[in-house]
Amino acid sequence: MTTRRTEARHTEADRLHSGDAAEAVAAILTAQTAALDVTSAARDVIAATGLAMAAAIASGHKVIYVGAGSSGLMALADCLEIPGTFGVSRHQVAMLFAGGAAALLDMPGAVEDDADLAAADVARVAPGPGDLIIAVSASGSTPYTLAVAKAAKVRGASIAGLANAEATPLLQIADYPVLLDTGPEILAGSTRLGAATAQKAALNMISTLAGVRLGHVHEGRMVNVMADNAKLLDRAAGMVADFSGVDIDAARAALARTGGAVKPAILIACCATVAQANSLLAEAGGHVGPALRALRQDA
């Protein structure tokens, strides 16, 4: 049996047993930091993946995250945040987690080897041309994840593969191969540690870049947020007030006219009509900055 790099012995593993709890924590932190640092080497392909994600969503296609076990949890965390953070329709962002929702309760290991399950899941979500698969696997060879990626590729979808070992099957078939070479885990084989840290950081970069390119970020603020609780309603009103210069009551009034949509509310607070705000945003591809400049030029 070939030993995977993630299951090899870490050079600092003895520090876990030093007897000093602070020293053990320091060793774990050092290993996590080193894992995070490897994402820098992949920044070009991470950027390309973010642009591909934006293109898929902008054209009305789907982004489908895929994973099993710890890698699946990292993919799931990113997937679930996209609609709330960027206002992307849920039907455009899907998750294929080996074993489905039931597997989240006790994380059975056998489901990650189930190619038949992968085939059924692919048939259900029906990926095709224009869709993007974001497949995450620490080993780069998880049978479920690899089977989904291969089947989706046959159907014409593009594949982004995130793996923590080089020259692996997932990276070899990927259109966007994201190598996160985190090496041995300080707890051998526990890819919820360094591998997962690097995966989550890479996914954060991919989806945030996509949100920016879709026009759902303006000056570092989430202007397409789904404001569905008190905290987010306050945040939305604050953004409208900040970007338009009106007081908070006027900002809330503008939001009331848009059903809580922040982008047009910013323009309305700057004296645009509802129709004008929507037209300017459409002409600007959903980007607030150009729409605001056009409004001020017309004033």
Q: How far is the C-alpha of 148 from the C-alpha of 156, rounded, in Å?
A: 12
Q: What is the pLDDT of residues 255-267, one digit of tens each?
A: 999 999 999 999 9
What pairing do the DSSP bridges indicate for beta strands 63-67 and 217-218?
unpaired
Sign of CA dihedral 110, 115, 118, 119: negative
In this prediction, residue 114 carries a pLDDT of 86
In DSSP notation, 76-145 reads: HHHHHHHHHHH---GGGEEEEETTTTTHHHH--SGGGG-HHHHHHHHHHH---TT-EEEEEESSS--HHH
Q: What is the pLDDT of residues 26-74, one digit of tens each?
A: 989 999 999 999 999 999 999 999 999 999 999 999 999 999 999 999 9
| pLDDT greater than 60 at residue 3 | no
Catalytic residue numbers, as ranges: 81, 112
Average pLDDT over residues 160-176: 97
In this prediction, residue 83 carries a pLDDT of 94
* Range scoring the smallest mean pLDDT among 18-32, 139-153, 196-210: 18-32
Query: CA dist 41 to 38, 78, 179, 182, 198, Å?
Result: 6, 21, 8, 11, 11
Instruction: State the CATH architecture for 6-213.
Output: 3-Layer(aba) Sandwich (3.40)
Going from N- to C-terminal start, the domains of the chain cover 6-213, 217-298
* R_g over Cα of the chain: 22
What pairing do the DSSP bridges indicate for beta strands 158-163 and 176-179?
parallel
Place of tokens 């979808």: 157
Q: How far is the C-alpha of 294 from the C-alpha of 283, rounded, in Å?
A: 10
Contacts of 33 (CB under 8 A, 6+ apart): none
Contacts of 208 (CB under 8 A, 6+ apart): 50, 217
* pTM for this entry: 0.92
CB 58 within 8 Å of CB 129: no
In this prediction, residue 226 carries a pLDDT of 75
- Who has greater pLDDT, 277 or 116? 277
Tokens of 246: 């009106």
Find how far residue 97's CA is from the centre of its chain.
15
Q: How far is the C-alpha of 112 from the C-alpha of 144, rounded, in Å?
A: 5
Tokens of 107: 């994380």
Question: Whole-number mean pLDDT of the chain?
Answer: 92
In this prediction, residue 13 carries a pLDDT of 62
In this structure, whether the domain defined by 217-298 belongs to CATH 1.10.10.10 is answered with no
- Who has greater pLDDT, 275 or 232? 275
In this prediction, residue 155 carries a pLDDT of 98
| pLDDT greater than 80 at residue 185 | yes
In this prediction, residue 112 carries a pLDDT of 85
Burial class (CB in 10 A: 0-12, 13-18, 19+), 212: middle
In this prediction, residue 221 carries a pLDDT of 95
Nearest to 160 by CA among 119, 122, 203, 102: 203
Average pLDDT over residues 83-94: 95
SS3 174: coil
| pLDDT greater than 80 at residue 94 | yes
Q: What is the pLDDT of residues 110-136, one digit of tens each?
A: 788 888 899 999 999 999 999 999 999
Q: How far is the C-alpha of 58 from the C-alpha of 50, rounded, in Å?
A: 12
In this prediction, residue 1 carries a pLDDT of 42
